[in-house]
Structure 1
């Protein structure tokens, strides 16, 4: 689309204004942006004469499905008297039928909206009319948009004609819901998945159209529009149309800048979003809440703010892994410079955790009755979690006897400002030496006598007790703020448990059948010591199994239990062990001489169960006399 020109009007005038999405609608295959694989396939098919009888075009809204269908119909019926008289993809000059086809008014190119023509009667009209040859064009082309909305009977009525259409009939279907189209229809079509258009391609398209319209639009504004368009050319052109009406005066005199687009879309200032992100990565919850309040006061949507934070988190992560990602046209200069600076200082662990918190927080804010309050809580959670080590890493440090390293990794007060420095990849050597004890003293009520006798040199175990136990995925929560607790001695357990089978039996006694099922069917035990269980979950295990088991065992036994997920291979589940033992018992029973003899005497007989009874519980044989059963054992 280097020589971009508006699509000509059918009446030859240009007096009435047309929106940009219609004015610059592609008219040739070369004009299609971002669909090169499909264009190459069609070019080869037309040049070799291997033209299909039906095509299925699918993709998100605004990527050009209907436009592609019209261009395809134009190529099928392309004709210039004395020059070209065959289907082609090279549509350099307007042909005999081109204008009527592109304007949707050609008698032999029938466009039907399946949303309003869903029944079998509409399809019956198509199948009846398909028998007759086209009036003037080479092919009679049926374009059915949103084909997934046809009824089941309509699809069935179309199958026969679609499978063996007359030589002069072609079908082109378009849909945004390809999964709703029956397989019987898909198997009769050539399918083309129209891709979302890359942001760079959309920026280039918008720039060329703005130049054609003699409007000055900044590159940052174009990048914002392309990002808001989400891969849709039509959406992006509609936003550009709106921006031109919103922010520009006369042609070329006023540049449409990023501020105009932000005000139009209700977006927060990108630089302020980055400032908010920086406060959060420092763990400065107070500054983050103040910045969000200021953005909310000027009209920023809480969901949009969190979405922008998530998008910037993704950008920083990409810049850390692929530094060249900053050269994309959709990335502004501010994002590029500050994103690279943050990518050098933040760890992948922190970025990944931030992404998870934001992803969950966006859904919470969308469902909250007061989104601004919910967004505040998400930001607090994110700031407090910025310095926390992963549960697995914390357990590893404790097992290796590196409690001092764990104490250094845990912040004394994650919500306090850190002095305005740049965020760092939180390493142990950056924590103040006295931060952990200070946090314990400040946050604790008057200490009990037992706590006063505790050593102050290694506070990591008691800090970790607040971090571990409860919560899913290993019994540790790395995303929630935590207080610094007092050192409280563990009480003696009310119920002593020595194996996973004991845990299952305790759940049975407590009538918690759901937990009993999970213990027996979903846990492959790796290690069991009183107070700590490590297991490998099965594929269908409940994601909150570790957290629920830890909470219930702590409640039932009177002592703290830490239940964690391990990556090591565990032993078979209790259910699998019982099943294996039962199979072994059945095999042993079948090989027992008496049973084997019975099985040979009664063909088709099977051993279906084996019951083992203790000697004192065994009943006497049926043929034993009553007086023999009551014999005095002393005789």
Structure 2
């Protein structure tokens, strides 16, 4: 069953603020887990599903009540609970016999208690996972013709409806489309894609959302207050993260944490219970890896492993913190996320200012591929160490474009990775490079000429093609495409570009290019639109060159013979290959001819 969120206790313990007390449990009754004890009893008790509640409220108030609902969502977000509350609202009747279908139920009605305890004769719940056949559906169809015994509607709640067989679904179609006026259907499923569209088209569908972490933390705090349990925010945030948006999972974990901590829920006890790593230690490990300090990274991993943390969980937490840093770098309000601890917010903001998006993205990819390797390895700690080595050595590697550019410009080769000797100082005590993490090298490398202090390195761009290549290196794909497609170059010199805009080109490209070049090169460039026609765009030049290569290849005698031998064959690609150094510089064409395999052999 799916429990959602805040609810009214079902035993004699105090209710949550704002909710009416439930009937007291009998003395000596067995313990009720929190997920059942605080199960929602009205729509006001639900959290995280405001859109669904608003839609249902409007439908009930206007009398637009459909014959069937389809509730879908991950486990524990409240599908079955919502179905029972719907059944209660449909059959709500006060003790004096008055009442109508409503979602506002300030007091228990005649049928409410029996419906919420799943024992009402007119509200039938069926688990489709164990009743999958057509015979089970026939029983429903045979019984639906009879009027309800005591309630207003007969309500059929079918959980995990996607488990029904194809024949069972087909048997439902006619009844579901035109049910008797006294019958309502409520379906719940976690696999909405397995439900036939013929069924979906006959239902109103509601997608129950995962509950946000801050709402789960607040909800768990209210329950701890009602239970008289002391809990710190770090522990509740860890439980909310582990629950992944499921209220039932969070309450089950809270139940376990209360038992584990003997009535006190602390961050350390929750980490021990879940096998999680200390967030501070995870952040220290992140710092060591980004700094390229492999010995410190190994020591941090080993200390957490010895304390009981699972290596794959450590890497998962490391990936999660990389994601946090990336969000802090790219989203202005990410630091206001209440699910973040104070140390995550402070140190994550610090790293976001120092690390480039490229470095963070590469770290995420390495960790994402490394976690399954650790989980599948028979030596997980060794596999985790190798992932950290890979991450540390790749933290500051250049992209292929940057490496080629460095070779062309005669710049020193990039570092091959961090060195094992003396670790670098901590991140917080020394500045990083603006784009990447500064890594130590095991061998002395030639140093470039020093730049004047306070100035950015000057980047030489000698051709317009160099500007386009630089846009590609900086991952400015939109700008690169616009430069190739829309710019008809009139004049190019270092620091100044004049061009005519092709038809349909954006008029903001000049400002965008000027701003980008100043950021990339550290120099101000004069970008001007000209009335002169200008040269063809780079894309037009490429198309012309391709067309000339194909025309030249077509005129080749051998190609003509092949085309004559194979009617319908076409030249689909022509690639120029330069002759060896010292020989004739003329180009020889390699041709891929469709349908002409072993053409020369055929001609011979």
TM-score normalised by length of structure 1 = 0.66
3-state DSSP class of the match of 1:438? coil
Q: After alignment, is 237-246 or 288-297 more displaced? A: 288-297
3-state DSSP class of the match of 2:69? strand
What does residue range 477-556 of structure 1 map to in structure 2 within 5 Å? none
Q: Which residue of 2 aligns with 1:91?
A: 105
- Find the aligned partners of 1:578 and 1:103 in 2 and give their Cα distance: 78
Q: Which residue of 1 aligns with 2:53?
A: 39
CA, structure 1 residues 104+336, in 2 after alignment: closer, same or farther (shift >3 Å)?
same
- Find the aligned partners of 1:578 and 1:56 in 2 and give their Cα distance: 59
Contact 2:77–2:211 (8 Å) recurs in 1? yes
Q: 2:187 aligns with which of 159, 173, 196?
A: 173
How far 1:351 sits from its partner (Å)? 0.8
CA, structure 1 residues 383+137, in 2 after alignment: closer, same or farther (shift >3 Å)?
same
3-state DSSP class of the match of 2:230? coil
- Find the aligned partners of 2:139 and 2:437 in 1 and give their Cα distance: 77
3-state DSSP class of the match of 1:354? helix
Q: 1:426 aligns with which of 411, 433, 440?
A: 433
RMSD between aligned alpha carbons?
3.3
Contact 2:359–2:436 (8 Å) recurs in 1? no
Q: Which residue of 2 aligns with 1:373?
A: 382
- Find the aligned partners of 2:438 and 2:301 in 1 and give their Cα distance: 27
How far 1:609 sits from its partner (Å)? 3.6
Q: Which residue of 2 aligns with 1:438?
A: 443
- Find the aligned partners of 2:569 and 2:358 in 1 and give their Cα distance: 53
Q: 2:281 aligns with which of 258, 272, 285?
A: 272
Q: 1:311 aligns with which of 302, 320, 326?
A: 320
> Deviation digits for residues 318-369 of structure 1, max 9, x if unmatched?
1122243233232112212221222222111111111111111112112222
Pair 1:101-2:110 in alignment = no
Q: Which residue of 2 aligns with 1:410?
A: 415
Contact 2:283–2:321 (8 Å) recurs in 1? yes
Q: Which residue of 1 aligns with 2:41?
A: 27
Q: 1:347 aligns with which of 333, 339, 356?
A: 356
> Deviation digits for residues 22-62 of structure 1, max 9, x if unmatched?
00000000111100000000000000000010000000000
Q: After alignment, is 114-123 or 82-91 more displaced? A: 82-91
Q: Which residue of 2 aligns with 1:328?
A: 337
Q: Which residue of 1 aligns with 2:597?
A: none
Pair 1:152-2:166 in alignment = yes
Contact 2:354–2:436 (8 Å) recurs in 1? no
How far 1:236 sits from its partner (Å)? 0.2
- Find the aligned partners of 1:573 and 1:365 in 2 and give their Cα distance: 50
How far 1:385 sits from its partner (Å)? 1.0
CA, structure 1 residues 6+303, in 2 after alignment: closer, same or farther (shift >3 Å)?
farther
How far 1:248 sits from its partner (Å)? 2.5
What does residue range 173-192 of structure 1 map to in structure 2 within 5 Å? 173-192=187-206
Contact 1:142–1:172 (8 Å) recurs in 2? yes
- Find the aligned partners of 2:218 and 2:340 in 1 and give their Cα distance: 13
How far 1:427 sits from its partner (Å)? 4.9
Unmatched tracts of structure 2, length 5 or more = 1-5, 7-15, 450-537, 555-559, 561-565, 572-604
How far 1:222 sits from its partner (Å)? 0.6
Q: Tell me how many residue pairs correspond in the alignment.
A: 455
- Find the aligned partners of 2:18 and 2:420 in 1 and give their Cα distance: 54
Unmatched tracts of structure 1, length 5 or more = 250-254, 441-455, 460-566, 583-587, 589-606, 613-635
Contact 2:335–2:345 (8 Å) recurs in 1? yes
CA, structure 1 residues 397+610, in 2 after alignment: closer, same or farther (shift >3 Å)?
closer
Structure (1 or 2) with the larger CA radius of gyration = 1
> Deviation digits for residues 201-224 of structure 1, max 9, x if unmatched?
100110000000011100111101
Contact 1:4–1:208 (8 Å) recurs in 2? no
Pair 1:281-2:317 in alignment = no
